């Protein structure tokens, strides 16, 4: 297995790095303070124009058709500049891939170009509910058929891009008598549909530039054609796409950690104490060595999972391994980087405390670290017996 990026993958990563440096990083601190929403949306539009909203979408639907490895590399670079923008990009790509995978030809032709070209600023993935987080099969949102329409009722929580998404992929129970997880279907709902209500934005610890909202469906009527995939088969779709989303979260965590450690390594070579730079101190060197070893392992796990997905091979176990390891490593890396800065790392003039807060959520969304361990163990034991 060759982990050297192709010429196209290198170009995509370099373009993402340039956009992150020129547009995302200068805005990140303002976004963290709740400012700069117009500029944020402008950056999303620029990313769409550069092909970053449909990295694994076929060209005939307006996508870049660059593959999962290019997607992972791009998210890493974007996250190093601004985690809030990176998570929006990652989830939008995830939504586009769901439509490409299970949508009808009409749905693909209608919605994918609007995601890829930025007509929709973002797309949202509406799965989590108050009582259905790590166990999404326990959802209670309902969809019932009335005439030639589906009527959706229920609420979804913690929806990334909730208040500015142009399209929502929504899971709801369509057969309440079916065994748990078997009577769930998937729907496409456009922003502005009557009965779709965007709730307040959550006040979060980190990634504050990315809106996270409750989305309510109050007798929300959509045409029969809004059903995506097979009736009552939506849970399988959700589980499959969550595995792909974990590659995005792992990449995002790696990008945040990479930015934090790079800043710390530059700082320790400049900061002098006891008549020498603190980079000359063995304790500091060991801290850096441990974190860099973990980040290199995380990078390789991400690439392995991305390579498997891109080549059509089973990748659920490897995606969970990458997410578990990369996100936990990011916690250690961001806190180590902050520690190496001493008191300066705790001050908001530097981005270290923001990196630490932004990284924290990565062990929770798209499946907690605990859920990843369950997935990994299940897959390992399945192979044994």
Q: Which residues pair with 160 in a beta bridge?
A: 212
Distance CA(189)–CA(226), nearest Å, equals 7
Q: Which long-range contacts (CB under 8 A, 24 or more apart) does 27-33 make?
A: 27/82, 27/209, 28/81, 28/82, 28/83, 28/84, 28/85, 28/209, 28/351, 28/354, 29/348, 29/351, 29/354, 31/82, 31/84, 31/85, 31/208, 31/209, 32/84, 32/206, 32/208, 32/209, 32/354, 33/208
SS3 202: coil
Lookup: tokens for 32:
């963290």
Measured between alpha carbons, how far apart are the two ends of the chain, in Å?
Answer: 27
Distance CA(330)–CA(250), nearest Å, equals 9
Contact between 190 and 231 under an 8 Å Cβ cutoff? The reply is no
Distance CA(255)–CA(247), nearest Å, equals 12
Query: How many CB atoms sit inside 10 A of residue 26's CB?
Result: 14
Give the phi and the psi of residue 78 in degrees, each rounded to 5: -65, -40
Active site residue 366: yes
Q: Which of 7, 97, 366, 379 is catalytic?
A: 366
Distance CA(114)–CA(350), nearest Å, equals 37
**Which of 103, 7, 13, 11 is CA-nearest to residue 58?**
103
Active-site annotation, residues: 366
């Amino acid at each position: 297995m060759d982990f050297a990026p192709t010429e196209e993958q290198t170009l995509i990563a370099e373009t993402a790095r340039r956009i992150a440096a020129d547009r995302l990083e200068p805005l990140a601190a303002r976004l963290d303070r709740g400012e700069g929403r117009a500029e944020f949306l402008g950056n999303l539009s620029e990313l769409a124009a550069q092909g970053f909203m449909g990295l694994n979408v076929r060209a005939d639907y307006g996508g870049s058709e660059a593959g999962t490895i290019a997607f992972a590399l791009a998210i890493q670079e974007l996250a190093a500049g601004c985690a809030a923008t990176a998570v929006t990009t990652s989830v939008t790509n995830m939504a586009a891939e769901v439509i490409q995978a299970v949508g009808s030809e009409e749905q693909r032709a209608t919605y994918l170009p609007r995601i890829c070209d930025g007509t929709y600023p973002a797309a949202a993935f509406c799965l989590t509910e108050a009582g259905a987080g790590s166990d999404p099969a326990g959802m209670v949102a309902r969809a019932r058929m009335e005439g030639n329409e589906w009527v959706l009722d229920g609420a979804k929580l913690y929806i990334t891009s909730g208040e500015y998404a142009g399209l929502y992929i929504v899971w709801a129970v369509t057969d309440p008598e079916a065994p748990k997880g078997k009577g769930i279907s998937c729907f496409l709902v456009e922003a502005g549909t009557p009965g779709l209500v965007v709730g307040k934005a959550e006040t979060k610890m980190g990634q504050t530039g990315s809106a996270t909202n409750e989305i309510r469906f109050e007798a929300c009527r959509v045409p029969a054609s809004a059903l995506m995939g097979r009736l009552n088969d939506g849970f399988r779709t959700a589980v499959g796409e969550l595995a792909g989303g974990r590659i995005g979260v792992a990449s995002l965590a790696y990008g945040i950690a990479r930015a934090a450690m790079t800043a710390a390594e530059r700082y320790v070579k400049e900061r002098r104490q006891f008549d020498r730079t603190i980079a000359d101190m063995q304790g500091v060197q060991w801290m850096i060595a441990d974190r860099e070893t973990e980040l290199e392992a995380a990078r390789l796990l991400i690439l392995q999972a991305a390579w498997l997905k891109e080549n059509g091979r089973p990748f659920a176990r490897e995606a969970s391994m990458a997410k578990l390891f990369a996100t936990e490593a990011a916690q250690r890396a961001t806190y180590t980087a902050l520690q190496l800065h001493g008191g300066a790392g705790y001050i908001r003039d530097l981005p270290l405390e923001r990196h630490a807060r932004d990284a924290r959520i990565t062990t929770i969304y798209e499946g907690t670290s605990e859920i990843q361990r369950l997935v990994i163990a299940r897959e390992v034991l399945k192979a044994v017996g």
